Structure 1
Amino acid sequence: MVKHLCVVFLFVIHALAVHAQSKVTVGKPYAVIDAESKYYFTNNGEILTVKIHKRAITLQKMNAVNLSFQKIKLYDDFPKDFQLEKITEFKDRYYFFYSLWENEEEQLFCREIDFASCSFKGPGKKVITVKEEISGSLVRAGMWRMALSDKFDFFFSYDSTSLVIQYRLKPEKRNDSKNYDVIGMHVFDKNLKEKWSNRIKMPYTEKKMDNLDYSVDSKGNVYIVTRVFNDNTTDEKKRGDDDANYHLEILKVATSSGAITTTKVDVADKFVQTIWLYESAQGHMICAGFYNTGKNMDNVDGVILFKFSPDGKLFDLNSYEIPVEILNQYASGKTKRKNDRKDDDDKAEFENLDLQHVEVQKDGSIVLVSEQKYIRTHTTYTNGRSNTYYTYHCNDIFITKINASGKLAWMKKLPKRQEGGAGFGGMSYCYFISDKNHYMIFLDNEKNMDLPLTEVPARHVDGAGGFLTAYKINDASGAVEKVSLLNTRDVNGIEVFQFAPHRIMATDVNTLVFEAYKKKKEDILVKIVLED
């Protein structure tokens, strides 16, 4: 770990600039829709919500300018045992993907949503049929019944002209050292017309390789970044060795033919924690993520980034270590002392860091956004009996920008402490970008508004009100401002509940809208206009 920072880091955030509240407007209340899942989309000054309660799907339309409720439509004509796979916007069109196991076949259906009319465009259209069983995640589908969900994965090209939907066939053999994964791939154009499909047998056994991410380019070629072990073990590091016991490979699956070409990436002593794969506006592919020292795979020592051309040529392989000075910002004295001791052995790391966004910008620069996120187990003993409970934590945000040239532009640690007892709920943050700035919107404790570098943030408890707060980071300079937006206990005289970051929508330039519950079985829309 680097001992001392250059000037660009020395003046990272000596003191966050704090702005007063932005303009807040509240719309008229409308009837609440109780639902297990809620999804939000915005287009041309309007809002579309999709709310799912068992088999009932409710579509709602609202005006994002005057915050008025417009229309609602209820659909109960979905198959009995359908499983939601994805609701997404794809090239200005909106799709509801769901799967159904029927007649010994796995089927994927798509039902298009007409945003303007707030309605489905007819019944579901079958887009993929698989006659074999495929892998997925078990979810509860009733009191005594489980079902398989998350069977299909969706990846989009940079320009949103290609979509790859992929699935994994259930292994024929239970022995990972003998089984070769077979991945089904279907590539669609912007009108959801299939360009090509194929089943790709992986070149190594399941034990030998570990697929880390997938992507598709605008021409319909599919890419896989995979970890390939150097021997017959799955040891990421051998005792006494400094280097990783694996290398990375980029598999390119050619359009139509399914032919595989391989690019090898030697990571040496960089142990990859997370790596994501993207297409750039310039036409090459980018891999960006985190690495560590191999001691704790949840921790991060720095950022790793490399690029490769369509013909497989690797270039701009770089790593960017996180300085201990950044790790020690807004940390307790105990944590600082631990980091300083580890730094002597080059082992100080950012703990429990979860990569959540990689933004490939038009100029070729890359922005990575991550958050400290973890679950802690607690056990207490009373009269010889034990009780175990869990707390959920969303702490500091870490954001890094790499210029198109491969030079580090800036790194920022944004202080935050959130804790809950019933899942992650209304914690974490919403991330969005304007022409000049990056924004992180989250609920905070009001004590943190003017926090010096040497202080640990006060804790915000999920479900106990909170101040909606924004970090604004200038894309060019990395300068950070902290903005107080509103108090959820007093939004123009109304207390709001059930806030969640995923409900926030950027409906216009510097304008946010989110839906909240106000009790008495009513929801409202809240609009915030930010000062740019």
Structure 2
Amino acid sequence: MKKSIALALFALSTIGNYAQDIPTTIAKSDIFKDEYKFSQIADVTQDGNGGVLVSRTYRGGFFSGGAGGYYFEHYDAKLKLIKEYEYEMKYSEFEKQSSVLGMITNGDEIHLIDFLYNRDEKAYICSALTANINDFNFKKTELFRLSSDEIKQFSFFASSAFDNDSGASMILNEDKNAFAITVDIKDKSTETHKLFLFDNKLNKKIEHIFVRDIKDRKFVYENIDVSNDGNTLYLLGKVYTDEKKSKKDGGKYQFELTRVTKDSQKTQVFDTEEHYSRSLKTIVLEGRLTCVGFYSDRNDNRYKGISYFELDPETLAIRKTKFNPFTEQFMIDKYGKDKDKELKNLSFRKILITPTHEIVFNAEEFYIVTSYVSTPNGSYTTTTYHYDDIVTAKINTSGDIAWARNINKRQATAGESSYLSYTSTIKGNDTYFFINAGEKVKKLSNDRIQFGQTSTKHSNLNVIRVNENGDFDYKEILDDKDNEVPFMVAYGAIMTSEHSVFFMGRKGKKKQLLKVTL
């Protein structure tokens, strides 16, 4: 008991001692307005002269058909606008179910990766819309096409989709020099995906059909990673096999990791034995390949710690398997005492890598509450989205937890959530979280604190720092009274080379760009 109290008091003293010691610099653009209300940052790229090119997506209005488009804005080092360009996505009457999967840059070139169905040609066509930032003269290049007979429709168009991974998706690698596109192929009896890999010059490096001989609904697509050199794909799936139905303990499934190159495919199967790892994320590191996620000992809703699997990136041989229980410090952060208590609703947010190749695994306690309300004038339902505690843990190169912390936070909304949740980044061995919070930090039992909100669109911008030892402190960066617009912390764009984070602020059609440099 004395040990628990001492740890809690130490954590609080750390907050008090270092609250003013988080150096940041702030730059803001002028307040501006554009035609469309809803937009968010898609990419931020250096221009080579101290300025940045900011790409923003927007959703079109009712009268524009809702197709949307992109704003491209070139700013100098002080965020003064140099040049801007709007590119509206327009399609012919034969082109349907259109979607921009993502974007990738190559020097001065921008590539928008577009995926649509051409009714006249009865084909799904993936194209790159390419322009130079000096003239924004977009030209289309077809990357590949698939007949309508073999591909599933997008899940938001097809109510009869066989599983939840229908459609197409795009994955960028960490160095942003390559991207993959995966397309779900129509086949009820087997899990089938068509995989494509391109570099940022649009050269095709891999075209591969992934087939798993199991019913489509029994293969849960977890994620795809692209190697840093842009030559290899790693596909992770959770598979519900007939053999795993008879397991007495643990999850009734197995994880399968497949390595795909230009000339080969190999798969490694690994099980969580008596534990439950509900979901895993693949992380490609220098010389090692890891899969990390939360696990449970009792059921899929009670998290006990973090699971870690390390594989050889070439052979996929399993090197290490570890199940790290949450630390005593984490439980004190969460509950005020070292107590075995229920922990659930954790949603993965982002993985960060330190300069020494340690893994910082970040999540958030996210859940949705739907209520039924009955009044004399009728009945209706309300839906509230909760964005609560931040969970962060560092895993060292041996696969052990170096530290785990819970940052108490209470945020909820029945409307737009862009101003809630957080953006995380890393500088050196320190991890940073940017959140909106109310004026006062609430004091909890056992010398703990909790961040809250005043309202969704009127909050103060704070930065929380967790250092290499797991001690955390915080600082208010911007007071709501000094801003014309609130900033959307859920969609911060990271510029790693400058240790900067960009946020879009919005109030109606009034907008402003914010740059915070650590």
Same structural fold, with TM-score higher than 0.5 when normalized by the shorter chain:
yes
- Whether 1:220 and 2:231 are equivalent positions in the alignment is yes
Cα distance in 1 for residues equivalent to 2:304 and 2:69: 44
Listed one character per residue, the Cα deviations across residues 214-236 of structure 1 (whole Å, up to 9, x for unaligned) are 22333633322222335278x6x
What is the CA-CA distance between 1:432 and the residue it aligns to? 1.5
1:70-149 alignment, distance < 5 Å = 70-76=82-88, 78-80=90-92, 81=96, 83-89=98-104, 94-102=110-118, 103-115=121-133, 117=134, 119-120=136-137, 122-131=138-147, 132-138=150-156
- Whether 1:48 and 2:41 are equivalent positions in the alignment is no
- Whether 1:264 and 2:269 are equivalent positions in the alignment is yes
**1:422 match: secondary structure:** coil
Cα distance in 2 for residues equivalent to 1:312 and 1:419: 42
Listed one character per residue, the Cα deviations across residues 288-321 of structure 1 (whole Å, up to 9, x for unaligned) are 1111235244x42211111111112111211111
Cα distance in 1 for residues equivalent to 2:166 and 2:435: 28
Equivalent residue letter for 1:133: I
- Whether 1:363 and 2:356 are equivalent positions in the alignment is yes
Cα distance in 2 for residues equivalent to 1:24 and 1:433: 18
Distance change >3 Å, CA 41–CA 118, structure 1 → 2:
farther
What is the CA-CA distance between 1:87 and the residue it aligns to? 2.6
Where do 5+ consecutive residues of structure 1 fail to align?
141-147, 174-178
- Whether 1:430 and 2:423 are equivalent positions in the alignment is yes
Partner in structure 2 of residue 145 of structure 1:
none
Partner in structure 2 of residue 468 of structure 1:
461
Partner in structure 2 of residue 144 of structure 1:
none
- Whether 1:303 and 2:306 are equivalent positions in the alignment is yes
Partner in structure 2 of residue 250 of structure 1:
257
Distance change >3 Å, CA 219–CA 96, structure 1 → 2:
closer
* 8 Å CA contact 1:27, 1:68 repeated in 2: yes
What is the CA-CA distance between 1:199 and the residue it aligns to? 1.6
Distance change >3 Å, CA 529–CA 198, structure 1 → 2:
closer
Distance change >3 Å, CA 497–CA 401, structure 1 → 2:
closer
Equivalent residue letter for 1:300: Y
* 8 Å CA contact 2:352, 2:426 repeated in 1: no
Distance change >3 Å, CA 402–CA 64, structure 1 → 2:
farther
Partner in structure 2 of residue 480 of structure 1:
472
What is the CA-CA distance between 1:26 and the residue it aligns to? 3.8
Across the aligned residues of Structure 1 and Structure 2, the Cα RMSD in angstroms comes to 3.4
* 8 Å CA contact 1:88, 1:95 repeated in 2: yes
Pairs aligned (count): 489
What is the CA-CA distance between 1:249 and the residue it aligns to? 2.3
1:133-532 alignment, distance < 5 Å = 133-138=151-156, 151-171=167-187, 173=188, 179-217=189-227, 218=229, 220-231=231-242, 241-253=248-260, 255-257=261-263, 259-282=264-287, 284-297=288-301, 299-309=302-312, 310-323=314-327, 326-329=330-333, 331=335, 340=339, 343=340, 348-383=341-376, 385-448=378-441, 454-455=447-448, 457=450, 459-474=452-467, 476-491=468-483, 495-497=484-486, 499-506=488-495, 509-517=498-506, 522-530=510-518
Equivalent residue letter for 1:72: E
Cα distance in 1 for residues equivalent to 2:403 and 2:192: 41
* 8 Å CA contact 2:500, 2:516 repeated in 1: yes
* 8 Å CA contact 2:44, 2:493 repeated in 1: no
Cα distance in 1 for residues equivalent to 2:35 and 2:428: 35
What is the CA-CA distance between 1:5 and the residue it aligns to? 7.6
Cα distance in 1 for residues equivalent to 2:292 and 2:417: 26
* 8 Å CA contact 2:166, 2:184 repeated in 1: no
**1:327 match: secondary structure:** helix
What is the CA-CA distance between 1:41 and the residue it aligns to? 1.4
Cα distance in 2 for residues equivalent to 1:84 and 1:363: 38
* 8 Å CA contact 2:30, 2:512 repeated in 1: yes
* 8 Å CA contact 2:199, 2:230 repeated in 1: no
Cα distance in 2 for residues equivalent to 1:487 and 1:13: 23
Q: Which has the higher contact order (CA 8 A, sep 6+)?
A: 1
Which TM-score applies when normalising by structure 2? 0.83
Listed one character per residue, the Cα deviations across residues 50-104 of structure 1 (whole Å, up to 9, x for unaligned) are 3332345343324252221222223346314462233333565542112110121
Cα distance in 1 for residues equivalent to 2:209 and 2:20: 54
What is the CA-CA distance between 1:456 and the residue it aligns to? 6.0
Cα distance in 1 for residues equivalent to 2:269 and 2:5: 33
Cα distance in 2 for residues equivalent to 1:84 and 1:462: 33
* 8 Å CA contact 2:424, 2:432 repeated in 1: yes
Equivalent residue letter for 1:164: A
Deviates more, 1:31-40 or 1:62-71: 31-40
Distance change >3 Å, CA 66–CA 498, structure 1 → 2:
closer
Listed one character per residue, the Cα deviations across residues 362-415 of structure 1 (whole Å, up to 9, x for unaligned) are 533111111111111122222494321011111111111111122321111112
Cα distance in 2 for residues equivalent to 1:31 and 1:118: 23
* 8 Å CA contact 2:355, 2:428 repeated in 1: no
Distance change >3 Å, CA 198–CA 464, structure 1 → 2:
closer
Partner in structure 1 of residue 63 of structure 2:
none
* 8 Å CA contact 2:322, 2:399 repeated in 1: yes
Cα distance in 1 for residues equivalent to 2:513 and 2:217: 50
Equivalent residue letter for 1:128: F
Cα distance in 2 for residues equivalent to 1:451 and 1:482: 16
* 8 Å CA contact 1:24, 1:527 repeated in 2: yes
What is the CA-CA distance between 1:273 and the residue it aligns to? 1.8
Cα distance in 2 for residues equivalent to 1:515 and 1:227: 36
**2:91 match: secondary structure:** coil
Distance change >3 Å, CA 525–CA 260, structure 1 → 2:
closer
Distance change >3 Å, CA 458–CA 193, structure 1 → 2:
closer
* 8 Å CA contact 1:273, 1:300 repeated in 2: no
Listed one character per residue, the Cα deviations across residues 322-369 of structure 1 (whole Å, up to 9, x for unaligned) are 1465234254x8xx7xx94xx3xxxx3422111111224453311111
**2:279 match: secondary structure:** strand
What is the CA-CA distance between 1:424 and the residue it aligns to? 2.1
Deviates more, 1:75-84 or 1:41-50: 75-84
* 8 Å CA contact 2:250, 2:297 repeated in 1: no
Cα distance in 2 for residues equivalent to 1:34 and 1:350: 41
Where do 5+ consecutive residues of structure 2 fail to align?
61-65, 159-163
* 8 Å CA contact 1:393, 1:424 repeated in 2: no
Which segments of structure 1 move beyond 6 Å, counting only runs of 4 or more? 4-10, 449-452
Which TM-score applies when normalising by structure 1? 0.81
Distance change >3 Å, CA 293–CA 33, structure 1 → 2:
farther
